[in-house]
Amino acid sequence: MSNQRKRNFQIEAFKQRVVVDPKYADKTWKILEHAIHEIYNHNASGLSFEELYRNAYNMVLHKFGEKLYTGLVTTMTFHLKEICKSIEEAQGGAFLELLNRKWNDHNKALQMIRDILMYMDRTYVPSLKKTHVHELGLHLWRDSVLHSSKVQTRLLDTLLDLVHKERTGEVIDRVLMRNVIKMFMDLGESVYQEDFEKPFLEASAEFYKVESQGFIESCDCGDYLKKAEKPLTEEVERVAHYLDAKSEAKITSVVEREMIANHVQRLVHMENSGLVNMLLNDKYEDMGRMYSLFRRVSNGLVTVRDVMTLHLREMGKQLVTDPEKSKDPVEFVQRLLDERDKYDKIINLAFSNDKTFQNALNSSFEYFLNLNTRSPEFISLFVDDKLRKGLKGVGEEDVDLILDKVMMLFRYLQEKDVFEKYYKQHLAKRLLSGKTVSDDAERNLIVKLKTECGYQFTSKLEGMFTDMKTSHDTLLGFYNSHPELSEGPTLVVQVLTTGSWPTQPTVQCNLPAEVSVLCEKFRSYYLGTHTGRRLSWQTNMGTADIKAVFGKSQRHELNVSTFQMCVLMLFNNSDRLSYKEIEQATEIPASDLKRCLQSMACVKGKNVLRKEPMSKDIGEEDSFIVNDRFTSKFYKVKIGTVVAQKETEPEKQETRQRVEEDRKPQIEAAIVRIMKSRRVLDHNNIIAEVIKQLQSRFLANPTEIKKRIESLIERDFLERDSTDRKLYRYLA
Amino acid sequence: MRRSSTKKKSAESVATDLFRSASSKASTKEMDRIDQLFNQYANRSSNLIDPEGIEKLCSNLDVSHTDIRILMLAWKMKAEKQGYFTNEEWRRALKALRADTLNKLKKALPELEKEVRRPTNFADFYAYAFNYCLTEEKQKSIDIETICQLLEIVMGSTFRAQVDYFVEYLKIQNDYKVINMDQWMGLYRFCNEISFPDMGNYNPELAWPLILDNFVEWIAEKRA
């Protein structure tokens, strides 16, 4: 189609507007204005919704939206200012009520007005980006009423005062509170926060600051904690009743800060009632309360844990370094176990089994247990005592429990190899004297040690058990093949494999004829079945049962050591013997002989011999005769068993030296192992690696490691790098 | 084409030949004199200069037989056995020093000392001194007393204080009865690197031989 054509079809706009009464807008507005007045005066019933709506609609349609809107603002503001005045004039308690009522009225009015002006709200307002009617109504309320200088402060003060009253025990109108505070919330989050919440939190902080100060001056720790719990629940309840839910976290943290966080140090360290006192007196409830309260604040639990750790370490240190307590090793260990049980229970019941507290407990024990260098020895002695008699009659499960507790202490030891040495010695004595209460318990512990430390740790110990069994079988074989020996003294032999048992010096002595004949027969029997082996009799370790007659008719069976047997048998052929004669005949070393004679002549109840002259010590000029007047209640009399004793100083030195010597090859082996795989490594790293590799047995000393490195350099296992002096190189 | 080039020599090559024959004659002559000198001190039957011979040599050279310069001479010779010089070793040193008479040898000593004291040579000389004292087969360490003497000879003039302190320490300590090469070299590094007597830059965490750690500790204790 041609353009010209189009022009012809152009529709022209009306040249004439619909005739609108110039006063139309004013007239319509007047109607609406009047309606608003009526609404605010509670006279809305007489109004026609339909008519008002149409009027508003027409105004907007005829482009008088602006007039309508501004009119609305003006009118509403006018009313609100009136309302504000009336609220200001309210007295006392009526203030809040009136405010609340007027607010409700305003909301109702606003609703109606908005319904009437809905068309404007939906068309004019968005297109000109004005505030919607409802929101406008809220803003106007906020600006005209709430933020009016007289109302604002008075309102806040009234509210805070009511809260304070409630906190001090008075009952307040919670419904009113809720409604008024909801007003804030309805006006917008920032209004709520700025106009109410912030001042509320500040006032609360002040309140609790004063409260807590008062409590802490007058209460002890336990009471304070009880008092501190209450506000927490109270405030949560308050929030639920009349505050915005979002305030809960904030007010809670205010309470936590004022009641707890600010006083953590003072509470924990409170004299006579603080944490240490609670620990000592097992105050589970108080400690539980402390834990749950302090958990809420940062560094609360850290403080508790640190104080507990410090206390533990101090107490532990005193325990282990007190010479009085070290006198009885069994007591020593038992005390440690008891302490551990106590703290375990505390952590369980009061500190909800918190792992960090468990760790603190473990590290403290590890710290002070190793302060006493005799701890490994004492723990072994404790086990020895239990396995000899302590576990008698104890059920299997309880045995397991006790052994597990011992293992716990064992894990804390840094010098596990020292423990191993003592354990071996004590086990040897137990096995050889047949003094074990329960074979199962022994094996149980070996299994636990194996799980903890590996096969190497326990292989020798297991070897000891094997030897015992094998010896038993060998002995049976011996007697079966020598039926003629069933008459005469009975020999019981234990054949010990040298590597497995603790090294003992072999002591020779002259055995009585009857015995040595038997021993020789056994030796040839054994060597007959095991060629290439060598047997040496350990006369310092055996025992003998001898039947003796004292006087005419006192019969007893004496259980004595081998040495003692040798001495006593001499008296079958002589009535009186001098020290020198005994020494010559038996060839027992002097110190052993003196001890042996002393145990038979100078100990009450065991004096099977009489010594002349009578004195406590054995002199080389003494003579001995059988004590015909020996009596004892029991038929069987035990003289001088070999019990595991706490070592004397020189013995301790010797053991320690042997341990040190044993460590040297272990360190060297570790160094060689590490260097073989790394080829080149610097000094500090070698030290660190070696310590790590050996830590399951003992804590390696860096100086000792350095010495071993130098020794290996000398023996051409390692060399220093020619350019970088910190490096070592492995020499294949 | 020159066929008989070999027959006709250039003046230059003639001169070279003359020089060569003269120098070779001279060098043979020199070697003879060196050998002669050797025989003055050597033991007839063993054909070695033995300790007695060395003493005689020292007195002729006007140096004490504990003087470091004799040790330096041994080093120059690369002498293997302490107290003995072989003919080959003798030749080696004196040829290098260009000394075929006693006088020349005497005059060469200061030069030799300078040469040895050069840092590159001294470390080698220091190690050599240790090995020189290992008299037994398979011996790897030297007893304390000999070490003290050796230290005095080798380092006494340059590190007077360190030597005195260290010798005193060696005599009173009980950990070590002998010193090995590793410790010996460690001491050399110590003297060269660590400021004395404050030892501010000594770090025991590094791989210094343990004996030096103990030495440093001992000095610190003495001063406290």
pLDDT 10s digits, B77-87? 998 888 888 98
Inter-chain residue contact B180 with A714, CB threshold 8 Å: yes
With an 8 Å Cβ cutoff, is B216 touching chain A?
A: no
Work out the average pLDDT over B155-162.
87
What confidence score (pLDDT) does residue A12 get? 65
On the question of pLDDT at A646 being above 80, the answer is no
Nearest-CA distance from A707 to chain B in Å?
Answer: 7
Contact check, Cβ <8 Å, B210/A714 = no
Two tokens at A547?
Answer: 């039947």
For residue A657, the SS3 value is helix
Q: What is the pLDDT of residue A27?
A: 87
Peptide bond preceding A613: is omega within 30 degrees of 0, i.e. cis? yes
- The pLDDT tens digits for A654-666 are 888 888 998 999 9
Structure tokens at A602: 């100078």
User: Does residue A684 sit at the B interface (CB-CB below 8 Å)?
Assistant: yes
pLDDT greater than 70 at residue A476:
yes
* Alpha helices in A351-481, H assignment, sequence order: 355-369, 375-385, 396-412, 416-432, 439-453, 455-481
Interchain CB contact of B221 with A (< 8 Å): no
Structure tokens at A429: 């004595």
Q: Which chain A residue has the Cα nearest residue B184?
A: A714
In chain A, what percentage of residues exceed pLDDT 70? 96
Residue A590, both tokens: 């002097």
| Angle, CA of A464, A470 and A471, to the nearest 5° | 90
- Mean pLDDT of the residues in chain A: 88
What residues of chain B lie within 8 A of the CB of A707, using their CB? 210
| Interface contact B206-A720, CB threshold 8 A | no
Q: Which amino acid is at A407?
A: M
Out of A238-242, A412-416, B16-20, which region has the weakest mean confidence (pLDDT)? B16-20
Between CA A227 and CA A221 the distance in angstroms is 10
Residue B178: what are its φ and ψ, rounded to 5°? Answer: -140, 160
Q: What is the pLDDT of residue A391?
A: 74
Q: Which of B111, B110, B125 is nearest to B71 (CA)?
A: B125
H or E element at residue A118: helix A118-122
Task: Tell me: pLDDT of A641 over 50.
Answer: no
* DSSP label at residue A11: P
Nearest chain B residue (CA) to A713: B182
The pLDDT assigned to A540 comes to 81
pLDDT at A669 over 90: yes
Closest CA to A620 of A587, A594, A584: A594
The encoded tokens of residue A7 equal: 């022009």
What residues of chain B lie within 8 A of the CB of A711, using their CB?
none
3-class state of residue A680 by DSSP: strand
**Beta strands across the sheet bearing A636-638:** A543-550, A554-561, A636-638
Question: What are A636's strand-pairing partners?
Answer: A557
The pLDDT value recorded for residue B195 is 85
Residue A611's SS3 state is strand
Question: Residue B32's beta-bridge partner residues?
Answer: none
Q: Could B207 and A725 be called an inter-chain contact, meaning their C-beta atoms sit closer than 8 Å?
A: yes
Which residue does chain A place closest to B138, by CA atoms? A715
- Phi/psi of residue B81, each to 5°? -110, 130
CA gap A146, A483 in Å, rounded: 119
Residue A593 has φ and ψ, to the nearest 5°, of -65, -45
Helix B11-41 and helix B51-61: axis angle, to 10°? 110
Pairwise CA distance, residues A191 & A94, whole Å = 23
> Cα A278 to the chain's mean position, in Å?
17
The reported pTM is 0.71
Contact in structure between B129 and B141 (CB atoms under 8 Å): no
Give dist(CA A721, CA A729) in Å, integer.
6
Cα–Cα distance between A308 and A313 in angstroms, integer? 9
B178 inside 8 A of chain A by CB = no
pLDDT of residue A594 exceeding 90, the answer is no
Count other Cβ atoms within 10 Å, centred on residue A564. Answer: 24
Shortest Cα–Cα distance, B113 to chain A (Å): 26
- Please give the backbone phi and psi of residue A557, each rounded to the nearest 5 degrees, phi first: -110, 120
- Whether the pLDDT of residue A1 is over 60: the answer is no
Report pLDDT digits (tens) over A499-550: 888 877 778 888 888 888 888 989 989 998 888 888 888 888 888 899 988 8
Q: Is the dihedral of CA A69, A71, A75, A80 positive or negative?
A: positive
What H or E segment, with its residue span, contains residue A308?
helix A300-321
Please tell me whether residue A304 adopts helix, strand or coil conformation.
Answer: helix
Is the pLDDT reported for residue A361 higher than 90? yes
B96 in contact with A at a CB cutoff of 8 Å? no
Kindly state the average pLDDT of the residues B192-220: 87
**A11 or A458, which is more confident:** A458
Angle at A349 between CA A343 and CA A354, to 5 degrees: 75
> What pLDDT sits at residue A622?
87
Distances (CA, A) of A571 to A517, A552, B91: 19, 16, 87
Considering Cα of A5, then A6, then A9, then A14, what sign does the dihedral take? negative
Contact B22, B28 (CB under 8 A): no
Q: In this structure, what are the phi and psi dihedrals at residue A506, rounded to the nearest 5 degrees?
A: -85, 125
Joined together, the tokens standing for residue A145 give: 């009423």
User: Both ends of chain A: CA-CA distance in Å?
Assistant: 104
E-only strand ranges, A64-162: none
Interchain proximity B183–A726, CB inside 8 Å: no
- Residues 6+ away with beta carbon under 8 Å from A547: A555, A556, A557, A558
Contact B205/A720, CB-based, under 8 Å?
no
> What kind and span of H or E run contains A141?
helix A133-141
Residue A694's SS3 state is: helix
Quick check: A706 contacting B, CB < 8 Å?
A: yes
Burial of A531 (0-12, 13-18, 19+ CB in 10 A): exposed
As given in the structure block, the two tokens for residue A342 are: 């106590």
Rounded average pLDDT over B211-224: 87
Residue A492, SS3? coil
Indicate the residue of B140, B141, B210 with minimum beta-carbon distance to A706: B210
Report yes or no: A85 at the B interface, CB cutoff 8 Å.
Answer: no
A679 φ, ψ (degrees, to nearest 5): 70, -55
**Cα R_g (chain A), whole angstroms:** 49
Tell if the CB–CB gap between A682 and B207 is shorter than 8 Å.
yes
Residue A713 and residue B207: Cβ atoms within 8 Å?
no
Half-sphere exposure of residue A719: CA atoms within 13 angstroms, side-chain side:
8
Tokens at B132, concatenated: 């020189």
For chain B, say whether A691 makes contact (Cβ under 8 Å).
Answer: no
Query: Does a cis peptide bond (omega within 30 degrees of 0) precede residue B197?
Result: yes
- CB contacts, 8 Å: A714 with chain B: 140-141, 180, 182
